[in-house]
């Protein structure tokens, strides 16, 4: 196990499209995921995508803690999940704003519109399929992490860049953007 270096905005690995994983059960993927988990816990993130540790493969890890849920019926807390080759299907055209941070964009947060309900699918490390329909913050985390696999960082999804702020200023001068609780946890 090892703590990996996290790529920051501007590194080309964060702009590239990541490659599908041929075998989710491969030993190299197991090792990569173990290191990603250690790295995410060390950095205090909610999720991490493989390109963020300079590995351009379609692998994400994430967890959803109770404290950030929006109250939507399908916004559920989630234990640490590994998702290989994830695919997201929006189940609504409705979006809502919520605060996001990113370990690759340290010190900042921004209000990002995301679909409120999605279905996501992929494979676990054992190769077994994962298929969930979720809402709210849980859905937001998936959209954020899967964007990393397509070379997209959250500021590119923002529709009002006035809502991009340093964490300190965000704490000093809170902006009410709606129903989603304000939190600074990085993703």
Binding residues for Ni ion (CB under 5 A): 102, 187
E strands, the chain, in order: 47-49, 59-64, 78-90, 95-100, 108-115, 117-123, 129-135, 164-166
Using Cβ positions, the residue closest to Ni ion within the complex turns out to be 102
Q: How many CB atoms lie within 10 A of CB 127?
A: 11
| Cα 52 from chain centre | 11
Structure tokens at 128: 């077994």
CB of 148 to Ni ion, least distance (A): 6
Least Å from the CB of residue 163 to Ni ion: 17
CB of 52 to Ni ion, least distance (A): 6
Give the residue with the Cβ less far from Ni ion, 96 or 187: 187
Tokens standing for residue 85? 């080759």
- Categorise residue 145: left if φ over 0, alpha if ψ from -120 to 50, beta otherwise: alpha
For 144-175, give one letter per residue: b (16+ CB within 10 A) or e.
bbbbbbebbbbeebbeeeebbbeeeebeeeee
Q: Is the CB of residue 40 less than 8 Å from the CB of residue 78? A: no
> Which of the residues are catalytic?
145
**Residue 8 or 127 having the CB closest to Ni ion:** 8
Q: Which is nearer to Ni ion, 96 or 145 (CB)?
A: 145
Q: Which is nearer to Ni ion, 23 or 54 (CB)?
A: 54
Smallest gap from Cβ 150 to Ni ion, in A, equals 12
């Amino acid at each position: 196990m090892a703590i990996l270096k996290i790529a920051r905005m501007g590194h080309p690995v964060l702009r590239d499209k990541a490659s599908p994983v041929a075998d989710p059960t491969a030993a190299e993927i197991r090792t990569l995921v173990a290191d990603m988990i250690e790295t995410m816990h060390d950095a205090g993130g909610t999720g991490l995508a493989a390109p963020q540790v300079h590995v351009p493969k379609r692998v994400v890890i994430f967890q959803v803690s109770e404290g950030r849920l929006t109250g939507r019926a399908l916004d559920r807390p989630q234990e640490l999940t590994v998702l290989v080759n994830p695919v997201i299907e929006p189940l609504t055209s409705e979006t809502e704003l919520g605060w996001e941070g990113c370990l690759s964009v340290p010190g900042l947060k921004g209000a990002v519109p995301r679909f409120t309900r999605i279905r996501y699918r992929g494979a676990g490390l054992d190769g077994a399929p994962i298929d969930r329909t979720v809402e709210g913050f849980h859905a937001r985390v998936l959209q954020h992490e899967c964007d990393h696999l397509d070379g997209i960082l959250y500021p590119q999804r923002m529709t009002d860049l006035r809502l991009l702020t340093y964490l300190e200023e965000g704490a000093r001068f809170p902006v009410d953007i709606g129903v989603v609780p304000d939190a600074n946890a990085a993703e």
